[in-house]
Amino acid sequence: MVLIAGSANLDFVVRAQRIPAPGETVLGHDLQTFPGGKGANQAVACARAGGARTGMVLALGRDAYSQPLKASLQNAGVLLHAQEFDDVSSGTAFICVSDDAENAITVAPGANARLLAAHLPPLAGYRFLLMQLEIPLSTVIESAQLARAAGLQVALNAAPAQVLAPELLALVDLLIVNEGELRAISKNQGSILEAMATLPCPTVVVTLGARGAVARQGGELHYQTGFAVQAVDTTGAGDTFCGVLIAQLAHGQTMAQALQFASAAAALCCTQPGAQSSVPAASEVRSFLAERSASAPSAQQALERYCQGLA
């Protein structure tokens, strides 16, 4: 079973021809609201696309925004451990999505900033604790300490990007980052493989957008190619990858198998609008992989191509 401690935000999404530059006003097409937040997105992905028993620790305001957030998580089968506050609003995010599926996001944390390690439920029965950086850093560190003491594996999606203290990295069993986050944490401007090698975490996974993902697990490397799709909205794709990856590892899958399933789920996520609303079911991911498997390179071929700089 996977426990996620993280953020929940109501996303206000405007579609526009392009993302505005600083000081520029761009007319949008329409406005929609979707349940979001990195923690909640990953919880939905873990449960729905990953098929894992999933619990989530989150903080909300007692307001109208909290209702769709709780409903989306519960509809995905996530067990909620929710802290609710009267004097602060639920988290919100304001997202502009361009016609070429890129996005720009501004987050107002609200109640997410009140989440504490003391809010964690009893940890017996959980295998993984997955966290992100949209909750206080002190909460992340203290929660990781509690999880480690209880025998859980600690996974951290270090997003949004920031420099992390060595004391936190020493508590992380599995670190998931994109290329920008990798540079911020490692402070290494060499190759991706060189930057990964500087980090003390036993396992480091780097997402590469449409190019796939690469993982260093101990002394072993794994590379998963990306899956080509007609992208509509990339919001939530990274979160889908994170949640599904941890779910598959919790199921006992190998890193290579988990990378493949997570990459397929993230690709499917890009074909629908919204964050949680775009997370596919596990059956959809399996069907997608069955259709693509014949033309996909082997894991060894993909790794060799990546290391040669050809992927």
Active-site residues, by number, are: 239
Q: In terms of Cα–Cα distance, which of 27, 10, 1, 25 is closest to 249?
A: 1
Concatenated DSSP letters of 54-91: EEEEEEEESSTTHHHHHHHHHHTTPEEEEEEESSSPPE
Distance of CA 22 to the CA centre of its chain: 27
The residue among 106, 101, 74 whose CA lies nearest residue 237 is: 101
How many residues are present in the chain? 311
Contact of 35 with 25, CB cutoff 8 Å = no
Give dist(CA 192, CA 309) in Å, integer. 11
Positions of E strands within 144-261: 153-157, 174-178, 203-207, 213-217, 220-224
Ranges assigned E (strand) in the chain: 2-5, 9-16, 28-36, 54-61, 79-85, 91-98, 103-108, 128-131, 153-157, 174-178, 203-207, 213-217, 220-224
